[in-house]
A and B are shown apart, each in its own frame.
Chain A
């Protein structure tokens, strides 16, 4: 079963690299924000898979929860800033 988790984790890392293309070359700030938010989503699942692989689920679960909250707050803050500024 660890082999299966490892395979899913490696596939998710490859998808993170694909999302990083949108994060680097995206035409405007908003495209970059969407790409970085997608990377944060995949990182949440990768952290939980690491917990299952190393057999330390109870520790990695809290890190994953904090990562989800930080991703949400960060995206919301940048969106609010851009909305107040009024231009991209």
Chain B
């Protein structure tokens, strides 16, 4: 019972972070701001959701594989975000400053 409540709360917090990342992707004024929101929020949300699923499944080989997916994603997603941001900076995209219009 305790483990079930723990896994439900982990998954709800993960869903909350997914929602905030999506709102940031839609509403922020600039490409770099959007990338910042979705890069950090999605990584944390995937980690929390997969930990919740692994707790619900119990300790076995499958839950270890779920944890390994989470660890891989925790390394891979910041790398991909950094690659996109560096490509944008090399392509000459200017960061947004206060007072400019939305792009």
Contact = CB atoms under 8 A, between A and B. Distances in A.
Nearest to B54: A48
A31 B79 contact: no
A72 B38 CA distance: 14
Contacts, number: 124
A86 B90 contact: yes
Interface string B6-37: 00100100110011011001100001001100
A6 interface: no
A48 B66 CA distance: 9
A77 B19 CA distance: 27
Interface residues of B, number: 44
Contact of B22 (A18, A33, A79): A18
Contacts of A15: 18-19, 22
A24 interface: no
Given A71-B80, A72-B76, A79-B80, 13 more contacts: A1-B4, A12-B18, A22-B34, A27-B103, A31-B34, A38-B38, A41-B42, A44-B46, A45-B14, A45-B50, A48-B66, A76-B80, A76-B83
Interface of A: 1, 4, 8, 11-12, 15, 18-19, 21-22, 27-28, 30-31, 33-35, 37-38, 41-42, 44-45, 48-49, 52, 57-58, 61, 64-65, 68-69, 71-72, 75-76, 79-80, 82-83, 85-88
The 5 closest A-B pairs by CB, nearest first: A79-B83, A83-B87, A72-B76, A75-B80, A79-B87
